Amino acid sequence: MSAAIIKTEASQKRRNFISKFLIYFFLIVITACMLLPFLWMLSSSFKLNKDVFGFPIQWIPKNPRWQNYVDIWTQIPLLTFVKNTVKITVVVTLLQLFTSSFAAYAFAKMQFKGKNALFLGYIATIAVPWQAYMVPQFMMMSSWHLNNTHLAIMCLQAFSAFGVFLMKQFYEGVPTELCEAARIDGLSEYGIWWHIMLPLSLPALSTLTIFTFVNTWNDFLGPLIYLTKTELKTIQIGLRMFITQYSAEYGLIMAASVVALIPVLIVFLSLQKYFVQGVASTGIKG
Amino acid sequence: MASAAVQNKTPRKVLKKSTRDSLIAYSFIAPNFIGFCVFTLVPMVFAIALAFCAWDGRHAIEFVGLKNFVKLFTTDKIFQAALKNTIVYVIGTVPLTLACSLAMAVLLNQNVKLRNFFRTVAFFPYVASLVAVAAVWNMIFNPSMGPINMILNQFFGVAVENLPRWAAGKDTAMITVILFSVWKNMGYYMVIYLAGLQGCNPDLNEAAELDGANRWQQFWHITLPQLRPTTFFVVIMLTISGFKVYDQMYMITQGGPGTATMTLVYYIYNVAFVNTPKYGYASAISMVLFVLVLIVTIIQFRGSKGEN
């Protein structure tokens, strides 16, 4: 009898070990697929063009070529591109956070006429691709002389339905009793939004921040259509211009790519801690 | 202080309470809604009208009825290729990205060491600049010199003439772009799934474990049903972003070889902004894109309602 119990315990242990092993195996394989291209990029950025495709891959170059990182700043106005992108991204993210959480509060916690119809309208705009109306939008903007301005990019990025959707999902998880109690205590709806919902929704706000930031930072087609002057270009289209102009300068392209990645990496790593913590601690359902 | 304000307001209540509540609610929605109307709704309506017109931006707009659409579906071979490619791309990326991101989220949701590290690495390609990672991807998958083909050649014994041409090959170009997209976007959906998994009730899994369900059964019968709203959201987002695909093609294959990776949005861009602009014709293609997305959304909406 006891032998049988010991046996099942042993097989249980073995099963646990195997499942742990499989979990780590798959995790490491996926992680390697994710990481290796970046390591290859970094290593290539320190190489001469002729050494970039050397095989077997020399992960740590024997004579790192720092000159690549000096040359890129003189070859293209990288700093201007970065500045332009930061400016657009910060403005869009702030606008997005404010307008989305504001609208989402009404959708999640208030009763009003036409609520369902309006919200359905928002869902529908997530479904309507921007690309389906980018042509008339561009003509409208140019008739207001907004083409070749950063304002145009900000306007078309800042009012997404996705943000409203995301924030509403989160707010619905916040107990309604909390709002009711605050209302009985005499807090106005604006007060509830500011004093109760915003502090509670920090995880959702940071999620929205990182997603908006990334979307705006990585936006390609918008700036490609609107910004044709070199001094207005964002990092994406600026880098792309460089890659097309110097298509065989592999080392330089990789160095410029690394430089383009660093700001995102820094923002991402510093925000990610907060972001992951937020999502994990309170959870998306509150 | 706030309660005093309400007490002052209550006696001279002019509006009915429900009307006042509605007005306050509208004031919450207004900032987003006004921006949305001006920059989204107006161009949307304009786009529908423009689809039935011919306009080059210089001469007067001319109403042409259904002529644009007739031309698209009868004589325009590039459009037909673009339509087919877009659908192939969606069919390729949606299930693959969904499976990878869900698998990664479930793995990370186990009690593993270095969890934050794994999560950060998986999410990073999504935040990384598309232009930069596409540049690396192009080099890694370079048909004649890239490390992928070198590995295939030296370790797997694939003969040089049989090596895949990846982005340069007519049959492999789309696969290359699909692989790239899955690699790039997986982390985003993984984060959404992780958030969904946080909302799952662990008591249910414990109860099932006591009843003798193994991990796979627990995942299939307990976790997955709880994740249904998340999956619904992920599928919607993935399908829609699949129909909108453009950047990846522009950077990896330039729509080629031939029209092998030409997509609807790529074609809209070419028609509207390259050479002589044909705004009306471009809007007609936009309408096709819109209808495609709409159909999928309606199917998914009905499906999720039926399930609940």
CA atoms in the 13 A half-sphere facing the CB of A65: 19
DSSP helix/strand/coil, B116: helix
Which of B26, B35, B191 is opposite residue A158, by nearest beta carbon? B35
A34/A141 same-domain check: no
Average pLDDT over residues B19-25: 83
Query: pTM for this one?
Result: 0.81
Closest CA to A216 of A80, A96, A100: A96
- A206-228 pLDDT tens trace: 878 877 887 888 888 889 999 98
pLDDT band per the 50, 70, 90 thresholds, residue A283: very low
Mutate to test the interface with B, among A50, A131, A237 (most CBs of B within 10 A): A131
Q: Which of residues 137-196 of B touch A (CB under 8 A)?
A: 137, 139-140, 142, 145-147, 150, 154, 183, 187-188, 191, 194-196
B206/B270 same-domain check: yes
A39: containing domain: 2-65
Terminal alpha carbon distance of chain B: 44
Q: Which of residues A31, A50, A65 is at a domain's end?
A: A65
Q: What's the token pair of residue B29?
A: 């929605």
- How many Cβ pairs within 8 Å bridge chains A and B? 280
A6/A91 same-domain check: no
Q: Which of residues 104-123 of B touch A (CB under 8 A)?
A: 104, 107-108, 110, 112, 116, 118-123
CA distance A204 to A225: 32
> What is the structure's pLDDT at B304?
64
Average pLDDT over residues A161-165: 82
Which of B3, B29, B31 is opposite residue A185, by nearest beta carbon? B3
**CA-nearest residue of chain A to B132?**
A257
**Residue A218 C-alpha, separation from nearest chain B C-alpha, in angstroms:** 6
B100 interfacial to chain A (CB closer than 8 Å): yes
A258/A126 same-domain check: yes
Which of B26, B47, B199 is opposite residue A135, by nearest beta carbon? B47
Structural domains counted in chain B? 2
A282 pLDDT more than 60: no
A64 CB contacts (<8 Å, ≥6 apart)? A46
> What is the structure's pLDDT at A223?
92
pLDDT band per the 50, 70, 90 thresholds, residue A122: confident
> What is the structure's pLDDT at A286?
26
A1 pLDDT more than 70: no
**What is the CATH classification number for the domain harbouring A122?**
1.10.3720.10
B162 pLDDT more than 70: yes
B168/B255 same-domain check: yes
Average pLDDT over residues A7-20: 79
CA distance B199 to B75: 52
B306 pLDDT more than 80: no
A187 contact residues in B (CB cutoff 8 A) = 2-3
**Residue A195 C-alpha, separation from nearest chain B C-alpha, in angstroms:** 12
- B90-120 pLDDT tens trace: 999 999 999 999 999 999 888 888 888 898 8
**CA-nearest residue of chain B to A281?**
B198
CA distance B178 to B186: 12
> What is the structure's pLDDT at A50?
80
pLDDT band per the 50, 70, 90 thresholds, residue A278: very low
**Residue B224 C-alpha, separation from nearest chain A C-alpha, in angstroms:** 17
- Are the CB atoms for A109 and B39 separated by under 8 Å? no
A56/A80 same-domain check: no
What B111-118 contacts at long range (C-beta under 8 Å, 24+ apart), as own/partner pairs, is: B112/A23, B112/A24, B112/A27, B116/A276, B118/A27, B118/A31
- Are the CB atoms for A154 and A91 separated by under 8 Å? yes
> What is the structure's pLDDT at A4?
60
A97/A183 same-domain check: yes
Average pLDDT over residues A256-268: 84
CA atoms in the 13 A half-sphere facing the CB of A262: 11
Average pLDDT over residues A11-16: 80
Question: How does DSSP classify residue B38?
Answer: I
CA distance B17 to B51: 45
Which of B188, B198, B250 is opposite residue A280, by nearest beta carbon? B198
B2 interfacial to chain A (CB closer than 8 Å): yes
> B56 lies in a domain?
no
Q: Which of residues A23, A43, A65 is at a domain's end?
A: A65
B276 interfacial to chain A (CB closer than 8 Å): no
Mutate to test the interface with B, among A19, A133, A221, A273 (most CBs of B within 10 A): A133
- Phi/psi of residue A2, nearest 5 degrees: -65, -30
CA distance B54 to B74: 18
CA distance B170 to B84: 14
A21/A134 same-domain check: no
B113/B216 same-domain check: yes
Closest CA to B231 of B268, B190, B259: B190
* A55 against B145, higher pLDDT: B145
Query: A2-16, A34-48, A62-76, B152-166: which has the highest mean pLDDT?
Result: A34-48
B235/B208 same-domain check: yes
Closest CA to B301 of B240, B230, B243, B233: B233
B182 pLDDT more than 90: yes
- B249-286 pLDDT tens trace: 998 888 878 888 999 999 999 998 887 888 889 999 99
Q: Do B297 and A272 touch (CB under 8 A)?
A: no
B274 interfacial to chain A (CB closer than 8 Å): no
